[in-house]
Amino acid sequence: MTNTKMNRRDFMRKTSLASGVLLVAPGIYGASVNTAQAQTGAFDYIICGAGSAGCVLAHRLTENEDVSVLIIEAGGPEEGVEAISTPLRLLELWNTEYDWAYFTAPQKHCNGRNIHWPRGKVVGGSGSLNGMLYVRGHATDYDNWAYQGNPGWDYESVLPYFKKSEDFDGGENEYHGVGGPLHVTTDYERHPTTQRIVEACIEAGYKFNEDYNGADTEGVNFAQMNTKDGQRHSSAVAFLRPALERSNLSLLTNSRVKKVNLDGKTATGVTYIQDGEERVVTAKREVILAGGTIESPKMLMLSGIGERAQLEEHGIEVVHDLPGVGKNLHDHSLAPVIYEGDVPPPTNLAVIPLHAQAFMRSDPRLPAPDMQPLFFHVPLYTADTQEAVTPSAYTLCAGGVSPTSRGELRLTGPNVDDPLMLDPNLLETQYDVRTIVENIKMMREVAKQPALAEITTREIYPGPEVQTDEELADYARNSVQSYHHQVGTCKMGNDEFAVVDHELRVHGLEGLRVVDASIMPVVPTGNTNAPTYMIAEKGADMIKESA
């Protein structure tokens, strides 16, 4: 085999449409499809889910050539899918084969609406579908995790893991790394309307922040993006593809983990479903769940690990009573504020129509910004925005990023295909409603500034008739949508509802960890992909140290 990379690519292309394929690094089994190896084989580590976290774990664990790793993904390969690699095409991916396309239960405090939650069902996971904004959050987010019973997760301790992943085009400094697998770019063409929005924020009195992943998040900024050479740079591209060149990594696609197999209180492997058939594979050291905030708790519950009453209700044998599984579900919220104006359409395929944002405080006494408005040079329609407006519009999307409402997810049946009941309990608290209302008002002030007033003809949403706080709160309940940052369902901590400890081991069990966004006890006050990478980097080190 003279050109390993070429052969692997050809091989992936050939098999990308087939279901249930095991992609093996050529050195170990030869460039052949070999499902039998997985069916009968044993691996040191089995990673369940090849999303943002799973791909980082696969990369780091296989750095030790003496360990074998199997990573199992429910979706198919992402390589060669242009709608995934082309930044501007991201919205085309929703409601396709690459999207789990969840909907929440009717939201009691949002006038009974069911809210769409796209999540990646493909190699790269939600990182193959996401907006590519690279945002870490505020230092106090992590200090707060540590205060909640998680030693080693304060900002000073996690900063080296953010830097470890990174290849920052702005160069190395106290806050940024270079030479890591993940490209972080500031070098892309800004849309003229986005430039005006940033200018208007400055005119309204907000400071410009050159680097919100640096000393402080506060102010308006142009986003740092996970793109490279104009293409999406997901964890599949940055971490998994290079690791697939190693002989000790195997990737199984179109295969869904049904449950973790246990011997008493020790994980011994998993049962997965491939082509409609159940298969078993053994883990010699550990099983690591990386299915994300929605599927990791489901895998636990289907394995008999969860709240006793809920498991018994569905006839699932209780292996370990762990009441916090699926609880503490929460998310960031957005409410669009849309203006009609003289806005050129987006044409640059390498840039998404959202590449500026701000971090703002609803109260100057808060330790960190609790609002993250997003600036789109397109109208951000939702199923709930009724009026057909010109595409020549822009959106100042109000955003609440320190939510206090908490919900849960629950099983509706004992089978892997039974849908989950997803209830984030959005806008339950007055604080969450007030944050959105205040941020809408701040966005209206920004839109009045000269840089935007020059191109704006009218406010479309909420609309000039919506003025009082009560009317704005009603608008928020009718229009709020997800910022796609669901976390918390396998939270890390040491209280009654904690699912994993500070080393990400499932409480009360051996050989089983959860390493993904679900372990965040509280959502950071920024996007969740960079924090997920950090969790996986730190998790990989913990796994290596305990081997």
Ligand X SMILES: Cc1cc2nc3c(=O)[nH]c(=O)nc-3n(C[C@H](O)[C@H](O)[C@H](O)COP(=O)(O)OP(=O)(O)OC[C@H]3O[C@@H](n4cnc5c(N)ncnc54)[C@H](O)[C@@H]3O)c2cc1C
181 vs 291, beta carbon nearer ligand X? 291
Please, what is the angle between helix 430-448 and helix 469-479, to 10°?
A: 100
Compute the distance between CA of residue 3 and CA of residue 445 in angstroms, rounded to an integer: 59
Of 126-134, 177-185, 208-216, 324-332, which segment contacts ligand X by CB under 6 A? 126-134
Give the up-direction half-sphere exposure of residue 246: CA atoms within 13 A in the CB hemisphere. 22
- For 283, residues 6+ apart whose C-beta sits below 8 A from its C-beta are 42, 43, 44, 45, 46, 267, 268, 269, 270, 511
Residue of the chain from 292, 336, 369, 462 that contacts ligand X (CB under 6 A): 292
Closest distance to ligand X from the beta carbon of 520 (Å): 9
Candidate list 131, 137, 181, 336; residue touching ligand X; CB under 6 A:
131
Of the pair 317, 417, the CB lying nearest ligand X is at 417
| List 26, 75, 326, 400, residue binding ligand X (CB under 6 A) | 75
Q: Least distance from C-beta 396 to ligand X, angstroms?
A: 17
- Mask for 105-124, x = binds ligand X (CB under 6 A): -------------xxxx---
The CA distance from 259 to 271, in Å, is 5
Q: Which of 256, 279, 477, 491 binds ligand X (CB under 6 A)?
A: 256
> Shortest Cβ contact with ligand X: which residue?
51
Applying CB under 6 A, which part among 132-140, 158-166, 363-371, 421-429 lies near ligand X?
132-140
Q: Does 23 bind ligand X (CB under 6 A)?
A: no
Q: Which structure tokens are listed for 186?
A: 């500031």
Using the rule CB under 6 A, is 516 a contact of ligand X? yes
* H or E segment to which residue 482 belongs: strand 481-482
Give the DSSP letter of residue 88.
G
Stretch that binds ligand X, among 18-26, 69-77, 321-329, 468-476 (CB under 6 A): 69-77
Q: Which of 212, 221, 231 is nearest to 190 (CA)?
A: 221
User: 460: Cβ–Cβ under 8 A, 6 or more apart, which residues?
Assistant: 338, 339, 340, 379, 387, 389, 393
Q: Which of 24, 204, 287, 290 binds ligand X (CB under 6 A)?
A: 290
Contact partners, residue 119, CB within 8 Å, separation at least 6:
99, 100, 101, 102, 125, 126, 129, 292, 294, 484
**Please, which residue, 98 or 155, has the CB nearer to ligand X?**
98
Choices 335-343, 419-427, 454-462, 525-533 (CB under 6 A): range interacting with ligand X = 525-533
User: What is the pattern of x (binds ligand X, CB under 6 A) and - over residues 36-55?
Assistant: ------------xxxxxxx-
87 touches ligand X (CB under 6 A) = no
Measured from the CB atom, the residue of 290 and 447 that comes closer to ligand X is: 290
> What are the DSSP calls for 196-256, one per residue?
HHHHHHHHTTPPB-S-TTTT---EEEEPPB-EETTEE--HIIIIIHHHTTSTTEEEE-SEE
CB-facing half-sphere around the CA of 55: CA atoms within 13 A: 30
Return the active site residues: 485
| Interface residue with ligand X, options 132, 249, 476, 512 (CB under 6 A) | 132
Report d(CA 369, CA 371) in Å as an integer.
6
Rounded Cα distance between 414 and 420, Å, is 10
Instruction: Check if the beta carbon of residue 383 is closer than 8 Å to that of residue 482.
Output: no
**Considering the rule CB under 6 A, would residue 237 count as an interface residue with ligand X?**
no
CB of 430 to ligand X, least distance (A): 27
Query: How distant is the alpha carbon of residue 267 from its chain centre?
Result: 26
Minimum distance from residue 235 beta carbon to ligand X (Å): 8
- List of residues contacting ligand X (CB under 6 A): 48-54, 72-75, 118-121, 125-127, 129-133, 135, 256-257, 290-292, 295, 299, 484-485, 516-517, 527-530, 532
